[in-house]
Copies of this chain bind each other. A is one copy, B any other.
Amino acid sequence: MATDAPATPGELAPEDRLRAAGLRVTAPRLGVLTALEREPHADADTVARHVRAALGAVSTQAVYDVLHALTEAGLLRRIEPAGSAARYETRVGDNHHHLVCRSCGVVVDVECSGDAVPCLTPEPAHGFVVDEAEVTFWGLCPTCTSESKENA
């Protein structure tokens, strides 16, 4: 069997992604990538805890530095749902959106409906040069829905 198979078929392993982006391969960086593959949409603190569990001591600074560097390099995408700290994910490049639970804050990916990009261009763009359309769906996750029913 292959060692360290990439999480997503067709994608490079963490190490190779770093190299491809012209970044040095370091333990904290691999740790951050691995942590986010294991738990997508984690915030900085959660990532730090994962990385520390895997590698031992890693400074908070280092985690923030890595998250910034990888986001800058396009290996991570940073999302910031209203009301929660910044979260990161390794799914980049595709146009997917997010579904956020108002109650527990959990975030799940949703594909952009259909294969076309529906809302990518607002009609009269007010002179803006638009480069991205971000769609966030708000609601209640299955767990929180059933919990609120119980209390009703």
Question: Which of the residues B124, B133, B145 comes within 8 Å of A129, measured between beta carbons?
Answer: B145
A: interface residue count bin: 35 or more
Count the copies: 2
Q: Is the CB of B123 within 8 A of A139?
A: no
A138 touching B127 in the complex, CB below 8 Å, given contacts A119-B119, A122-B97:
no
For residue A49, give the distance in angstroms from its CB to the closest CB of chain B. 23
Asked if A152 CB lies within 8 Å of chain B CBs, one says no
Which of these binds chain B: A11-19, A51-59, A79-87?
A79-87
Q: Flag if B126 contacts A110 (CB, 8 Å).
A: yes
A9 proximal to B (CB < 8 A):
no
Bitwise interface map of A from 112 to 123 toward B, beta carbon under 8 Å scored 1, else 0:
010000110111
Task: Provide the bound-state CA to CA distance between A148 and B46, in Å.
Answer: 37
8 nearest CB pairs, A to B: A127-B142, A80-B82, A130-B139, A110-B122, A132-B138, A128-B139, A134-B136, A129-B140
Question: 6 pairs across A/B with beta carbons < 8 Å?
Answer: A99-B128, A111-B122, A125-B137, A133-B137, A134-B135, A134-B138
